[in-house]
Amino acid sequence: MHKCFYYLALIGVSPIALAQSDAEPWSDDLLSMPFEQLANMEVTSASKIASQMSAASSAVSIVTSKDIKDQGYRTLAEILASMRGLNITEDRAYSFLGGRGFGRPGDFTGRIMLLLDGNQVNNNIYNSAGLGYTGIIDVSLIERVEYVSGPGSAIYGNNAFFGIINIITKQGHDINGVQVIGEAASYGSKEFKVNYGKRLDNDAEVLLSASGFNSVGQNYYYADAVSSSSDGVARNLDDQSSHHFLGKVEYDGWSGELAYSNRKKDVPTAPYKVDFNTPYNYEDTSLQGSIRHDRQFSKYVQMSLRAYYGNYKYDGLSTYTTPWVEQSTGQWWGLNTQFIGTWFDNHRILLGVEYRDDFEQELSIRYQGMSGLNASNSEKTLSLYAQDEIKLNQQWMANIGARYDINRDSNDRTLGNISPRLALTYKPVESTVMKLSWSSAFRRANPFEKYYADEIYNSQRANPNLDPEKIQATELVLEHHPDKSTRVLSTFYHQSTEDYLRNETLPGSSDKQFQNTSGASTNGIEVEFEKHWSNDIRLRTSVAYQNAKADNGEPMINIPRQIGKMNLSTPLLSPNWRLAFELQAYSKRYTEDKIGGHYIDTGGYSLANLTISTNNLLPNTDLAFGIRNLLNRDYDHVAPKSNELQTTIRQNDRNYWLRVIYNFR
C-alpha cells in the first residue's frame, strides 16, 4: 500500500521536470484551456462574487467536460472520486461522499453542499444530494464541476460545512444540434440519452435532455445469512433504474432551469434486520427549478435575483414478515437577492438577503395497517450576508464576510447562527498566490434526525431539541504556476467540530436516538498537480493526508488517512484516438465493529481504470470503451451500522462498458 502512494507521488512530481519542455498554452475553449487562462476563469462557488480561480480566497479544483468524456465518468460519484481529497463509499443502495476527516457510512447529509448552476439541490429531509444514479443531472450535460474545500456558511449558510461542489451545466451551443447516446455495460446495464441544444438567432440558449438507465445487477453471497432455510445468496435484489430530464433556457440576462430525476433501487444487503432475500427497495424522486435574472444597473452596481423551488420524495418498501412502508416528502421555495457594488475604490462589496420556506417536511411509517410514524413539520429561514473584497495593494487582498441565519420551525423553536469568514491573499509574483483563511460554519439537524421515530417497536426515538453542529477551520493555500500549462496547488488545514450529531444507543436500552456528541479535530495536507502538454497530453494528480481524531478518543469511522489519485489522458496513434488511465489509492478505514476491543478495518487498496475513445471513427459518431477495476482487485467499503449481516461490503470486480454517441448537426 505504501508503495502505491510512493508511485503516485512520484508520478505527480516528475512532470515538473518536464515543464521546461515544449509545453504551449492551448487557445481553444474550456475543453482545452491552458492553466493561465483557466486560472482567470470565473469561479462562482467560492464567494458568489464571480472570482478568478487563482484569486479566489479558497482552494479550488475543477474537472471539465473534457476530463469527464476522456475518463468515461458515468455518474457524479465517479467524478467526485477523482477529485482532490474526496472519497466515495458505496453500500449497494446509495453513494456517500466523504472528505476532510468525515465520511461515516450511511450518513445521508455528507456535510458538503451540492449546487446545480449555483442553486442548492440538497433536499430538506436528509440534507442529502444524489451522487450515483440518484444524481439530479446526467453527466453528459456537465460543463465542469467546481470543488471549493473548507467551510462555506459565510455565503451559503446551513450545510456548507466541509466544502461546496458546484455543477455548471452546458449551454445550448455546446451541443449544437441533437445528440443521441447509447451505452451498454456489465451487470446487464443499459442507458439511452437524447440531448438537444442550440443557440437561436436571437442569441437565446436552449438545452433539453432526457435519459433512462436500467441495470439487472448481481447476486450476492453473505456467509452470516446461511441457515437451514437459506444458502446465503441474495438473488435478483440488485437491480436499479433511473430517469433524468433537464430543460434550460437563457436569454438577455434571464435564465430558467428545470431538473428532474427518479431512481428505483433494490437492496440486497438486508439492512435494518429485514428478512433476508426478500424485496427491499428504495425510490428517490427529485424536482428542482429556478429562475434567475442578472442586471447591471450602472457601472458600479450589479444585481442578481434568483427564485427557486424544490421537491423531494422517498418511498421505501421492506419486509418484516409483512411489508414495512416508509415515505418522506419535502417541498421548499425561496428567493435570493444579491447586489455587487464597486462604489469605493479597491472594494468589491456583496450584499445579499435570502428567504427560504421549507413548507413541507413529512415522515411516515406504515406496518400491518398501523401507523408507526406520522410527523409533519415545516420551517422558515431568513438570511442576511455581506462580503467585502479589499484590494490593499498590487500584492495583498483581504476578504471579510459573514452571514446571519435565523430559522424558525413549526414547533416555534428559533435558532440563530452567525458564520464569519476572514481571508488574506498574497501574490508576491505573477505565478504564485498564497491564501490564508479562517472560517466558521454550521449544520442544523435535519427533520430525519429530529423527528424520525419508530412508534411500533420503539427502536428509534425522536429528538426535536438538537443543537446545530459547528466547525471552525484555518487553512493555508499555496498555488504556483511555473509556466502557462502547469499548476501546483498545496493546502494545509486544521479544523475542529463540536456538537457532532450521531445516532446513539440510549443507556440501559437498545433504543437509538440522534444526539449531540463530542466533536473532532482534523489536521490535513492536500497537494494537487496538473499539467497540459502541447501534444494534448493531460495529467492531474493529487495526494491527501488527513489525521482525524474524535474528542472522546474514538477513531473516526471510514476515514482513509492517505489518498492518492492520478488521471492521465493522451492521444493514441492519432489525434482522433485517446487513451485515459486513472489510478486511485486509499489507506485502511475503520469500520463500526470491534474484535477484542479493537476496531476492524478494511485494509488499503488501489484501483485502476482504463478508457479508450475515438472521435468521428464514422461520420458524426464517437465511440468509447472502458474497463473499471482493470486489475480485478478484491476490495471492500465500510458498511453502515444499519447493515447487520456484514461489517464491510464487497465492491465490483472488473467490469466493462461501451458507449456510442451520434451527433445530428
Q: What is the pLDDT of residues 519-528, one digit of tens each?
A: 899 999 999 9
What is d(CA 608, CA 11) in angstroms, rounded to the nearest whole number?
Answer: 14
For residues 122 and 114, is the Cβ–Cβ distance under 8 A? yes
Is the confidence at residue 407, as pLDDT, over 50? yes
**Tell me, what's the pLDDT at 273?**
78
Predicted pLDDT of residue 226: 82
For the segment 470-489, the average pLDDT, to the nearest whole number, is: 94
Q: Is the pLDDT of residue 145 over 80?
A: yes
Query: Are 443 and 158 a contacting pair, CB within 8 Å?
Result: yes
Whole-angstrom Cα distance, residue 566 to residue 609? Answer: 10
Amino acid 23: pLDDT: 40
3-state secondary structure 544-555: EEEEEEECCCCE
What local confidence, expressed as pLDDT, does residue 54 receive? Answer: 45
pTM for this entry: 0.92
pLDDT at residue 371 in the model: 83
How far apart, in whole angstroms, are the C-alpha atoms of residue 340 and residue 42?
15
pLDDT > 80? residue 276: yes
* Lowest-confidence pick of 7-21, 448-462, 471-485, 635-649: 7-21
The pLDDT of residue 569: 96
User: Across the strands, what pairs with 183?
Assistant: 191, 659
Lowest-confidence pick of 188-192, 455-459, 465-469 = 455-459
pLDDT in tens, 507-552: 888 788 999 988 899 999 999 999 999 899 999 999 999 999 988 8
pLDDT greater than 80 at residue 95: yes
Percent of the chain whose pLDDT exceeds 70: 91
- Taking Cα atoms as reference points, which of 536, 369, 407 lies closest to residue 23? 536
Q: Pairing relation of β-strands 460-461 and 512-517?
A: parallel
The set of cell numbers assigned to 23 is 509545453
Q: Which residues pair with 435 in a beta bridge?
A: 425, 477
644 in Cβ contact with 634 (< 8 Å): no
Q: Which residues of 586-611 are buried (b: 16+ CB within 10 A; e: fewer)?
A: bbbbbbbeeeeeeebbbebbbbbbbb
Residue 294 pLDDT greater than 60, yes or no: yes
Given phi > 0 = left and psi -120 to 50 = alpha, else beta, which region is 186?
beta
- Three-state SS string over 346-362 comes to CEEEEEEEEEEEEEEEE
CA dihedral 386, 391, 395, 397 (to 10 degrees): -10
**C-alpha cell at position 14:** 516528475
The CB density around residue 231, as the number of other CB atoms within 10 Å, is: 10
Region 349-377 average pLDDT: 92
- The pLDDT of residue 105 is 82
Find the farthest-apart pair of alpha carbons in the chain and give their distance in angstroms, rounded. Answer: 80
The residue type found at 609 is N
CATH for 571 = 2.40.170.20
Confidence of residue 606 (pLDDT cuts 50, 70, 90): very high
Q: Residue 1: which pLDDT band, with cuts at 50, 70 and 90?
A: low
How far is residue 438's CA from residue 223's CA, in Å, rounded to a whole number? 49
Q: What pLDDT, on a 0 to 100 scale, did the predictor assign at position 53?
A: 47
Is it the case that residue 298 has pLDDT exceeding 70? yes
pLDDT over 50 at 628, yes or no = yes
Residue 169 phi/psi, 5° resolution? -85, 160
Return d(Cα 638, Cα 649) in angstroms, integer: 6
Q: Which domain holds residue 131?
A: 2-664
Gap between the Cα atoms of 25 and 634, Å rounded: 41
pLDDT at 42 > cutoff 90: no
CA 113 – CA 151 distance, rounded (Å): 10
Q: Are 263 and 134 in contact (CB under 8 A)?
A: yes
- The reported pLDDT for the residue numbered 476 is 97
Cα–Cα distance measured from residue 172 to residue 289, given in angstroms and rounded to the nearest whole number = 18
What are the angstrom distances between the C-alpha of 532 and each of 23, 38, 67, 413, 471? 7, 11, 12, 54, 37
Is residue 491 predicted with pLDDT exceeding 80?
yes
CB 387 within 8 A of CB 58: no
> How crowded is residue 42: how many other Cβ atoms within 10 Å of its Cβ?
10
What is the Cα 219 distance to its own chain's centre?
A: 28
Distant-in-sequence, close-in-space partners of 340: CB < 8 Å, separation ≥ 6: 49, 301, 302, 303, 304, 348, 349, 350
Query: What distances in angstroms separate CA 452 from CA 306, 409, 441, 447, 460, one per listed residue?
Result: 32, 16, 25, 7, 7
Average pLDDT over residues 191-210: 96
d(CA 110, CA 97): 6
Annotate 212-222 with b (16+ C-beta within 10 A) or e (fewer).
Answer: ebbbebbebeb
CA 352, 353, 359, 363 dihedral sign is: positive
**pLDDT at residue 285 tops 90:** yes
Residue type, 13: V
Q: Which residue has the higher pLDDT, 229 or 85?
A: 85
Rounded CA gap, 375 and 409, in Å? 13
Give how many domains the chain has, as a whole number: 1
Distance CA 268, CA 188 (A): 16
Give the DSSP letter of residue 230: B
pLDDT in tens, 369-401: 788 889 999 999 999 999 999 999 999 999 999
Residue identified by cell 465517479 is: 78
Phi, psi (deg, nearest 5) at residue 448: -65, -45
> Is 622 in a helix, a strand, or coil?
strand
Q: How far apart are CA 36 and CA 10, in angstroms?
A: 24
What are the helix and strand counts (H, E) for the chain?
A: 8, 40
